[in-house]
Amino acid sequence: MKVNEEYTVKIDKISNLGLGITKIDGLVVFVENACPEDELLIKITKLNKNYANGEIKTIIKPSSHRVEPFCPMQKVCGACQLQFIDYEYQLKIKQEIVKDTLHAIGNIDIKVPFPVKSPEIKEYRCKVQYPVSQTKVSKRILAGYFKPKSHEIVNIKYCPIQPAICDKIIDFVRETATQFDITGYNEKTHSGELRHVVIRYSKYNKKCLVTLVVNTNKSFEKISDLSKLLFENFDEVSGVCINFNNKKSNLIMTDKTKLEAGKDYIEEKLTDKVFKFGANSFFQVNPKSAENIFEYVKEYINNNFTNPTVFDAYAGVTTFGIVVSDVCEKVVSVEECKEAVEWAKKTVNDNKISNIELHNMDAENFFEKELNTTGRKFNITILDPPRKGSTEKTLDNVLKLTTDKIIYVSCNPATLARDLKYLTGKGAKLESIQPFDMFCHTYHIENVAIIDLKDVNK
């Protein structure tokens, strides 16, 4: 096999990164925008010792699951890798990804149910983060997503997976920034004023919180004027903030944010609770699907425990802790982001909840404090770490602090499988796993794993 050679192949399955998989003379070949059962003419673009990459030259016979993407930018944008596959089959693919990943990384074989569908598969994404740049000659402001495997911005005017109002706001920012002579960011030279536009949208009251990320450490007149004009022109915009980020990094936002107009928060309703959160707070991008997850966890706790004590680790604005508080004796929540904890306090007070204990601490420091001073234990720990998963030290401490169950919520099957392998090696048992589709048309899949600790030697 050589680079640029062409081959006729049939796609067998999809990888955990959303690439079609086939084999040529026993060598695995990954193909972008390929669907299982596709018969294709491909060209080899990259050749390694253990695998190769190919690109589609001709679709000889399309899979029965291949559909026309509803977004005209699907191939160039890179955000919705699976949108050319019918939604039901996307879920089947994700089910197989979870099953295969658990087996390959965690050496775990368990029945993986069909993923719970997202209630909405269009306009579901309620957090938009568009990088901003500027053309060299015309000085036109560009805002959109990066092309796959590049930092070249696709100037997106219409995105069907986010609420339509977001397109209008982004377009207004593009046009008005040009009129105000606000420059777009140049990543190579670290110059230009406007780096990102970030929008948080509420399904609950249809309001938006807009954050303009600037390449300075203080506000300036032009960006302040743009913020106020944006607030005045859109009834849907409840507030506009400026985030100051002059770091030479891929970090989107720093912790330094200033309110320029309106309110510095929006509200979202999950189950029967209304949450407040701000520009820097983590909150689920697909609230309707997230609600399915929260109800699933709450129902499990209610059906299997009577007045348990629950530890909500990496709690963010304490969404899990607040939702399940109705069926618990006590919830202890730990989050290192001060802003998130402050919003959690407001939500707890607004919802008149009296059985939640909030801590603004690094989780590891909290573990040490609990183990060395109070000696208390929790019936259940809800563990919802970032994509990188948990450390072995964290898992060891959670095992020491938890008597009955860990409810592990993960957006990354690979790190979940790794952490489950570690926990099962300590005597824990994976009781069940349930995928939820939070990120429609992508290869990402959320999972809730229930882990039984009765046989763990502590």
Residues with a catalytic annotation lie at 411
- Secondary structure of residue 104 in the 3-state scheme: helix
Q: How far apart are CA 176 and CA 170, in angstroms?
A: 10
SS3 64: coil
Q: Which of helix, strand or coil describes residue 108?
A: coil
DSSP letter (8 states) at residue 116:
B
Q: Which residues contact 149 (CB under 8 A, 6 or more apart)?
A: 78
Q: DSSP string spanning 286-346?
A: -HHHHHHHHHHHHHHHHHH-SS-EEEEES-TTTHHHHHHGGG-SEEEEEES-HHHHHHHHH
Class of residue 128 by CB neighbours under 10 A (exposed 0-12, middle 13-18, buried 19+): buried
Per-residue DSSP letter, 165: H
Number of helical (H) and strand (E) elements in the chain, helices listed first: 10, 22
Rounded Cα distance between 6 and 356, Å, is: 62
